[in-house]
Amino acid sequence: MRTNNFIKASCLLLMASASSAFAQKMSIEHKGDTTVIKVENPTKYLLLPVQEEKDEAQVLLDTGSKDDTWMDVRLAQNGADYYVPFALGKGKTATVKILGLKKDALAVNLMKLNDTFDTTNTDYYRPSYHFTPLYGWMNDPNGMVYKDGEYHLYFQYNPYGSKWGNMHWGHAVSKDLVHWEHLAPAIARDNMGHIFSGSSVVDKRNTAGYGKDAIIALYTSASDKNGQIQCMAYSTDNGRTFTKYEGNPVLTPFDGLKDFRDPKVFWYEKGKCWYMIVSADKETRFYKSKNLKKWDYVSAFGKSMGQQPCQYECPDFFQLPVNGDKKNKKWVMIMNINPGCWFGGSATEYFVGDFDGKNFICPDANDVKWLDWGKDHYATVTFSNTGDRVLAMTWMSNWQYANLTPFKQNRGANGLPRELKLYEKNGKYYVSEDVAPEVYALRKDTKDIADATVADAKELKSAVANMEGAFEIEADVTPDANGIAGIEISNNKRERTLIYFDMKQGKVVMDRTESGLTDFGKQASPHDIELAWDKQLVAEGKQPARITNSINYKNDFSLATWAPLTLCEDGKTTYHVDIFVDKSSIELFVDGGRIAMTNLVFPVEPYENVKLYSKGGKAEYKNVKLHKIAL
């Protein structure tokens, strides 16, 4: 019945679930721009239909509390891509309010009540052995900490759609870095803002007063109203749930800076206090504290250093022994930048130097050092409380096309866990990033390939059959001194990714221009601007020219990435490679991670073929192994 723009519809839903002792009655009312849904004897969830390309509506579970928070959901208007669960609480009646939903929107008729939500994988490109959420959007890993035999992985998470929004801290735990148990989000978006990235520490000394060994999280709360401010939460149940500090925020920018986020906290033994570094627009700032609540400014680092122009995000700071010598350590600052990637978009660079409790000094701060030379390696951060090991995780995507990749149920994955080490070469310091040894436990089947000297292509098609697009290639490659030695990974649709050593140009290359789906359009970092500063840096001698013949500048995805072989030992003639192939990614590690390269790929059929090839001379391939990879 329609009266004064008031529409009321009601329906009775009998639930098959044994947990539903009574019928659910759901009424839907439209008043002006507000839709009100009331459910008697509510189920656990109201399943909301999502249409990704539509504008966001605002959805609220109205409990009458001041902590009730609006969430942004792209509700279906004229078609639905998938559903997301919206929790209805534990009361006898649930009231859900929606702003911005058209009265004739399809979502009104497609909403469902249920006590469960099916998380069975429906995405063709969902990885086989890389971590990804069961549903929704994921970007930066954050808050990672090791405690009582568990690695805690928190991450930027949107439970209400597979595009960025509604930032929560998602949560998973693992005992071995490769098998992950999905848990409920640990810190939810609230009225102070989105829960942006941050870090967690084990408070072994009870400095914050919440008990010895409590887990303390420092994170950025972000909103238009409050800006970007640093907040604290604590957990006394081994990181499962967090209580937000009643005195938040614990730190705000002293100069009103807009971009002020992603706090990384560490214990500085010499000063017997905590330090925090925060990305502050185009520099990072150091603060210190005795109790994790009151923070004092110390110094700043990074302005006009490294790759320019860029926006700093997700900083990290830790010590590494030089060449394994624990008596000779250097401090390493990781800085994730966007834009600024050598190949466009977002990437991870780092600085190596000394820290005296006040200033970080990096002698070669204007030398650009990349942690990974691929296009899809961002927001790299390390676990805390891991002793002598420095273990990192990364988000495997690029902001140029992160919202456009061909996923529906979930979007976003982590690269493989990596172990970081420091080596010295010609008076300079470099970080290697090798796959963590725990990953090798995922090898389920190994096929040894006979050593080969290759002058023309040698195909190993039969050797990789039935590996379901998830495998590792391990080999020692000796290219001709002036030639090219390569490995082609392909399917029967003639889609392929090329990985090769070009000795004449002194580089290793991963070319995904023919890898499968590649046309994801342009997003962020317009190339006319990017090329302008690229040419300027080349002119100033601060950055090598790009390989323009390998890059199609009309497409941010379809390109080849490369790294200089000078990162490996001088005089090298043979290179060890580990290549990890999953349904939508390839990760390359050369010589124990002196070169790492991570790229997404989207073949329409799984890669099943491997071909060894050379050009301009003979190449030797020894100790070639193909490992099936599976959880």
pLDDT tens-place string over residues 302-358? 999 999 888 899 999 999 999 999 999 999 999 999 998 989 999 999 999 999 999
Among 435, 457, 474, residue at a domain's last position: 435
341: exposed, middle or buried (Cβ count in 10 Å: 0-12, 13-18, 19+): buried
Strand partners for 61: 96
pLDDT digits (tens, 9 = 90+) for 150-182: 999 999 999 999 999 999 999 999 999 999 999
| Averaged pLDDT, 490-495 | 94
Q: Domain for residue 6, yes or no?
A: yes
Q: What is the CATH number of the domain that holds 106?
A: 2.60.40
- Do 205 and 108 fall into the same domain? no
User: In angstroms, what CA-CA distances link 9 with 14, 27, 60, 97, 531?
Assistant: 17, 6, 20, 15, 56
Residues in the chain, total: 631
- Do 404 and 525 fall into the same domain? no
- Do 96 and 145 fall into the same domain? no
In contact, 45 and 83? CB cutoff 8 Å: no
Assigned token pair, 541? 């001698």
Under the banding of pLDDT at 50, 70 and 90, the label for residue 222 is very high
pLDDT at residue number 458 = 84
* pLDDT above 60 for 533: no
- Do 412 and 475 fall into the same domain? no
Angle 409-471-418 (CA atoms, 0-180°, nearest 5)? 80
- Do 469 and 380 fall into the same domain? no
- Do 198 and 88 fall into the same domain? no
Task: Kindly state the helix (H) or strand (E) to which residue 535 belongs, with its residue range.
Answer: helix 527-539
- Give how far the C-alpha of residue 13 lies from the chain's centroid of Cα atoms, to the nearest Å: 40
pLDDT digits (tens, 9 = 90+) for 535-584: 444 444 444 443 333 333 458 999 999 999 999 999 999 999 999 999 99
Q: Domain for residue 124, yes or no?
A: no
3-state secondary structure of 428: strand
pLDDT at residue number 308 = 85
- Do 424 and 450 fall into the same domain? no
| Averaged pLDDT, 592-608 | 97
Strands 93-99 and 57-61, sheet pairing: antiparallel
d(Cα 486, Cα 503) in Å, to the nearest integer?
11
Q: Which of 8-22, 32-46, 122-136, 145-159 has the lowest mean pLDDT?
A: 8-22
3-state secondary structure of 23: coil
d(Cα 444, Cα 471) in Å, to the nearest integer?
9
> Please, what is the average pLDDT of the chain?
91
- Do 515 and 568 fall into the same domain? yes
Q: Domain for residue 565, yes or no?
A: yes
* pLDDT above 80 for 277: yes
pTM over 0.85: yes
Q: Domain for residue 317, yes or no?
A: yes
Does residue 554 or residue 84 have the better pLDDT? 84
Radius of gyration of the chain from Cα atoms? 26
- Do 108 and 190 fall into the same domain? no
Under the banding of pLDDT at 50, 70 and 90, the label for residue 521 is low
pLDDT digits (tens, 9 = 90+) for 360-403: 999 999 999 999 999 999 999 999 999 999 999 999 999 999 99
Calculate what percentage of the chain has a pLDDT beyond 90.
Answer: 86
Assigned token pair, 513? 């221009």
d(Cα 255, Cα 248) in Å, to the nearest integer?
19
Q: Domain for residue 123, yes or no?
A: no
d(Cα 435, Cα 446) in Å, to the nearest integer?
18
Calculate what percentage of the chain has a pLDDT beyond 70.
Answer: 91
Beta-strand (E) ranges in 426-545? 428-435, 443-449, 452-454, 458-459, 471-478, 484-490, 496-502, 507-511
Among 435, 468, 489, residue at a domain's last position: 435
Q: Domain for residue 36, yes or no?
A: yes
* 140 part of the active site: yes
What is the domain range of residue 67?
2-114
- Do 228 and 142 fall into the same domain? yes
Q: Domain for residue 332, yes or no?
A: yes
Q: Domain for residue 407, yes or no?
A: yes
For the chain, the domain total comes to 3
Q: What is the CATH number of the domain that holds 605?
A: 2.60.120.560
In contact, 310 and 282? CB cutoff 8 Å: yes
Task: Kindly state the helix (H) or strand (E) to which residue 110 belongs, with its residue range.
Answer: helix 107-110
pLDDT at residue number 73 = 98
- Do 145 and 89 fall into the same domain? no
Catalytic residue among 72, 140, 480, 556: 140
- Do 385 and 322 fall into the same domain? yes
